[in-house]
Amino acid sequence: MNLTDCEIGKTSFKNNQNDAMKQQKEFMDTMQKAKLNYDLNIEDPEEDEMEKLFLENMDHELEANAEYEQTDQYTSALTKLEEIKQTHNQDNNYIPCKPSINEEFGQLEDDLEEQIMNDSHQLMEEEKLGESDFKSKYNKLIQDFSNAIQNRKNLPLIDVSEITDRVWEMIDDWRNFESVKTEGCYKETLIKGILVLIDNKNTKAVFRLCKCCIHIINSIFNDKLRLSEEERFEDTEFIKIFGSLKSTVQILFKYSKDDKNDDLYESEKVYDSLLNVLLNYYIEGRLMLDQLTTKILKKSSGPNVEIKNTSATFDMLIYIVGLLKNSSMNKANQNILHNKNAIQVLSKL
């Protein structure tokens, strides 16, 4: 049935209703006459026949009204379905299934409810697929790390870049999957893989791996922002992670002693990463860094003892500042650091 059919049915039922109402008026006049006969105690042989005919026509009218109301419902439902179809066609080219129109209007409601449930189920499947896709990428990346480690010293720069780009992308996507379970995926494992690959003969590859490692650790540090102060003191893993960051900076410091590597600090965007470390760890996040690198020694009697790891935190700061000094002996890098507001950052330490 389409909208035209509904309009024809609507007109037909309206005419039937008008005829029934006209006949009803005639019977009402007859019934009024019968009432007078009752009052005068006059027997009317047509009384039973008249009452039977009246009731039959009343049933006819009720049936016509019911059919008319059902037709209105059909028309409204078809209009609504047409609107839904147009909306879905505009959004992602999605075409909803067209529910069949049965004699019972309830079937339309069932079909619409089923469509909504199917849409919800599809969204859930897409979320599961996204989760599965994320884990699949992670597992594939770990496997590629294992394969690359065997030839890490001579691993071509193009292969190193392919791995670091994938790691960088995965770390950036990680936050998008926070509502999805990612058990079995660990940023710390990616750090270990990067640190092993750093043992490469290609200096540019080393710089690229170091920058990627700093990016991962920065991401973990930002994750710790969600922890309470007490949870930060109880966190024992970040001290190890911070040690990895220190090792990475030490490697970059070693290369800063050779002026032929000066250009790599800017071309590989290492300056940006190091200045972000100073800003995030030693200026804006200084308090949190102290909390994450401090061990709490709980005693059975008396107050707990805080053991601060100031040696590690200040050692890394010295390495960064020394690296900036060594690599900026030429005029070009001095201008670069000036344009990056390095002086302002250092003055806040």
Give me the pLDDT at residue 104, please.
Answer: 45
**Mean pLDDT, the chain, as a whole number?**
74
Are both 155 and 10 inside the same structural domain? no
Highest mean predicted confidence (pLDDT) among 78-87, 93-102, 266-275, 299-308: 266-275
* Predicted TM-score of the model (pTM): 0.61
Are both 299 and 152 inside the same structural domain? yes
Residue 113 placed within a domain: no
Are both 306 and 166 inside the same structural domain? yes
pLDDT for residue 58 is more than 60: no
Final residue before a domain boundary, out of 102, 130, 154: 102
What whole-number distance in Å separates Cα of residue 144 and Cα of residue 197?
11
Is residue 211 classed exposed, middle or buried when 0-12, 13-18 and 19+ CB atoms within 10 A define those classes?
Answer: buried
Residue 164's domain comprises 121-347
Are both 212 and 327 inside the same structural domain? yes
Q: How far is CA 99 from CA 5, 70, 117, 246, in A?
A: 17, 17, 14, 64
What whole-number distance in Å separates Cα of residue 283 and Cα of residue 317?
11
pLDDT for residue 325 is more than 80: yes
- Number of domains forming the structure of the chain: 2
pLDDT in tens, 187-223: 999 999 999 999 999 999 999 999 999 999 999 998 8
Give me the pLDDT at residue 99, please.
Answer: 44
Per-residue confidence band for 135, with pLDDT thresholds at 50, 70 and 90: confident
Give me the pLDDT at residue 289, please.
Answer: 87
pLDDT in tens, 291-307: 888 776 555 566 666 66
Give me the pLDDT at residue 233, please.
Answer: 72
**HSE on the CB side for 61, CA within 13 Å?**
14
Highest mean predicted confidence (pLDDT) among 36-50, 215-229, 282-296: 215-229
**Mean pLDDT score, 268-296:** 89
Residue 209 placed within a domain: yes
Are both 129 and 19 inside the same structural domain? no
Per-residue confidence band for 89, with pLDDT thresholds at 50, 70 and 90: low
What token pair was written down for 82?
């047409």
CB 291 within 8 A of CB 224: no
Residue 59 placed within a domain: yes
**Mean pLDDT score, 320-334:** 94
Q: Please give the full DSSP string across 119-188, using - where no structure is assigned.
A: HHHHHHHHHHHHHHHHHHHHHHHHHHHHHHHTTGGG--HHHHHHHHHHHHHHHHHHGGGTTS--TT--HH
